[in-house]
Structure formats: structure tokens, C-alpha cells
Amino acid sequence: MANSKKLNIKMDTTKLIFTISYVVVTLVALIFVCVLCAKPFKIDSYDDLKQVDYKTYNTQDAEEYYVFIYGDSRKGNDWCKDVVIQYANKARTLSNYAPIYGYDLEKAGLGKLETELSLSNVPALLHFKSGSVNKTYTKWSDIMNTLSDIMNKE
């Protein structure tokens, strides 16, 4: 009888260890599959850019960054969209690219930004370095060339 109890306890312990191992392996496999299947976030439009407004456009944490000012009704937006989105996706994943933020005029308005930066053309690209505007690009061709040049340096 004593041997039977020992055998039952041994079998119960073995079952418990097997069950715990099975659960752990299943959870690890499930997490692995989820990580493999999950698509990384991709920027597809200007609205996917991290947005800033008048109060925050010049207070970002990065030492160097860009703010792309756009408005849906502006014709130059479409001309440089592909390059801006391509740069934004690279900046999101590569640390040697300065981050780029979006400033939507339709939502935030130009307001004081126009007088403070003498900005009248949109789209525009502001290059910030050490907390202040280092350079302003107001022609869509300059915006495209600037971002393309950065991406071509790879």
C-alpha cells in the first residue's frame, strides 16, 4: 500500500511538471508567433506623423529634428509626400536620422508661426538644431532635395 501511494504521488508530480512545461512552451510559442506576425507600425500619410502644434513645435527632446508644415488644401503637399513619408519611416527606425514631426495647418492653424518664422509658403520644412530653427525650406523642391540628399548618404 505504501508503494502504491508513493507511485501515485510520483505520477501526480510528473503530471504536474508535464502540465506546467506544456503551458510554458505553449505561451512561449504563442508569443513568438505574435511577434513574427505583428507588422511594425508604418507611416503611410502625413496624419501618421507625430503631430506638434504651436506650443510644442520648438520644444522637442531631440537635439536635431524636422517639423514638416502641411495643409490638405495645399498643392505642394502631394508633390513631396512620397519623400517625406519615406524619410519619416527611415527616421522612425534608424537612429542616425533626425526625427520628423508633422504640423497640420488645417487643425493647428498657422497663427503666430507665420509672423514668428516669417513663414508664408506651405508646405514648409523647418530644421531645428539645439532648440531653434536652423534652416527653413519653403519650396517643395527644396524639401524633396533636402530629405532625398539625407537618405542618399547611406
Q: What does the pLDDT read at residue 2? A: 58
- CATH class (in words) of the domain with range 46-152: alpha beta
Q: pLDDT tens across 43-80, in order?
A: 888 888 888 877 777 777 788 999 998 876 666 677 88
Q: What does the pLDDT read at residue 117? A: 60
> What rounded mean pLDDT belongs to the chain?
81
| 136 beta partners | 126
- Measured CA to CA, the distance from residue 138 to residue 125 in angstroms comes to 7
Number of Cβ within a 10 Å radius of residue 145? 14
CA dihedral 117, 121, 127, 128 (to 10 degrees): 30
Q: What does the pLDDT read at residue 24? A: 93
Q: Which residues contact 151 (CB under 8 A, 6 or more apart)?
A: 86, 87, 90
**Residue 145: pLDDT over 90:** yes
